[in-house]
A and B are shown apart, each in its own frame.
Chain A
Amino acid sequence: MAELRERQILLVHELMYQIKVREAMTTPVVCFSPATTFREIQLCMKEKKFSGTPITDNGKLVGIISIDDIISAFDHRRIDEPVGPYMVRDVITVPQNYSVIAASNIFEKFHFGRLPVVEAAQSCKVVGVLTNSDILSHLLMAVNSIAERFEHEESVSGNIARRPTDTLRFELVPDNFDLAGLASTAVKKHLQKCGVNPAILRRIAVICYEAEMNAIIHSLGGYMEVQLLTDRVRILVVDEGPGIPDVEKAMEPGFTTANEKIRALGFGAGMGLSNIKRCADQFSIRSSMESGTEVEAVVAINPEAGTAPASPGKPAENTAGRVP
């Protein structure tokens, strides 16, 4: 199992080196001159649905404006002024022939939302814009096409074993709040496509998100595996430690070990595990200080067939919050 995981991580790493910035970037890029007003840019951002743009002068990159700058222009009542005097001038760029791993390192180091892509190192000519999501979606496409090729080769060779289940698997990286929630979002979208009932899907989404966040906040890393079976969905989250000293206490609503910083973000309410249990038809947790924690939740996807008994006090769908 450890060997398989290592191979999967190696594949992603290898792809990060293979994929070039120009393959993943968004193009053509919308650029503005320093004389453009904040409002003109804001209207264009709204229409074209982007959240940052390079500022160029005679085709040369001179600055960058993000939605943050637009918001502070609103705050300071200078929305109708030109962006030139206020734009960020020291723009970090990435050349189009670099691997996306280089861009990914820049994103990680500086916490930028986007990077202008230039024609070559030392060049000021903008040829595109790259975001973390661009990298991620290109990576997913690459992995997908490898998987398709693999399946095709297997079916051509005639020895393909029919997959009995549909399994999704995600690596969970400790403390990576930027990617947090993406696994749960992908699970929800996939199960939606498979026709899982929306109310049941929202319960599954809560389970995945809480388990994913628990692993990201508290663990040393791990993985989440979601299996779609004919009558149920099985969610398994396994981490590599450090383990929960008192599982019974951890299950109590309101009990938390999260620090101040985590709580300020709205996490660490001490409701994660109890939320998972409440939304699941079957729930189990095993934790050891040696090997880590394993949470397993099962949700019946066609309860009327009576395949998995629903525990009492279930319906997560409620009407609380309606304004009278």
Chain B
Amino acid sequence: MKLKQVIELLGLFPVHLADENVEVAAVYCGDLLSDVLAHIQKDSLWFSIQGHINVVAVAQLRDVACLVLVNGVAPDPQAVGRAQTQGVNICGSDETSAALCMKLAGKL
């Protein structure tokens, strides 16, 4: 499924979209960066509550399809700036990772 369809399905709030046509292949939930680095699959939707600048680097390094900040967490302005220069997609949602995963189940 393309990212723009996922955004519509989950009602995500786009913070920065570098490419909304990227294919989303999997999902990962994690707030510990080393854990995410170790386990996230490429082209994943990444649910996290970490909105700081270093998260953007992890997303870029692991070819993440889109970082989704859950629970209403707002990104740091620097993180948005870095996402723009690095071409990383970021969206936000007021819902929890679990609620979003339930909505996505079986759809990808």
What residues of chain A have their CB less than 8 Å away from a CB belonging to chain B? Answer: 46, 49-52, 66-68, 71-72, 74, 111, 113-114, 131, 133, 177-178, 180-182, 184-185, 188, 198, 202, 205-206, 208-210, 213, 265-267, 269-272, 275, 278, 316-324
Contacts and interface: CB of A to CB of B under 8 A. Distances in A.
B56 A181 contact: yes
Nearest to B82: A133
B39 A188 contact: no
A265 B53 CA distance: 10
A205 to B, nearest CB: 4
B53 A318 contact: no
B53 A206 contact: no
Contact of B34 (A267, A317, A322): A267
Interface of B: 13-17, 25-28, 31-35, 37-42, 44, 48, 50, 52-58, 60-63, 74-75, 77-78, 80-82, 84-86, 101, 104-108
A266 B57 contact: no
A267 to B, nearest CB: 6
12 contacts: A51-B81, A51-B84, A66-B77, A67-B77, A133-B82, A178-B78, A180-B53, A181-B56, A198-B63, A206-B38, A206-B61, A266-B54
A210 B31 CA distance: 15
A256 B108 CA distance: 36
Contacts of A52: 77
Contact of A322 (B27, B37, B85): B27
A13 to B, nearest CB: 23
Contacts of A46: 14, 17
A275 B62 CA distance: 14
Contacts of B56: 181
B41 A131 contact: no
B37 A133 contact: no
B26 A275 contact: no
Contacts of A113: 77-78, 80-81
B53 A178 contact: yes
Nearest to B85: A133
Nearest to B39: A320
B32 A269 contact: yes
Nearest to B44: A321
9 interchain residue pairs of minimum CB distance: A181-B57, A271-B34, A205-B61, A269-B32, A321-B28, A113-B77, A269-B34, A266-B33, A266-B50
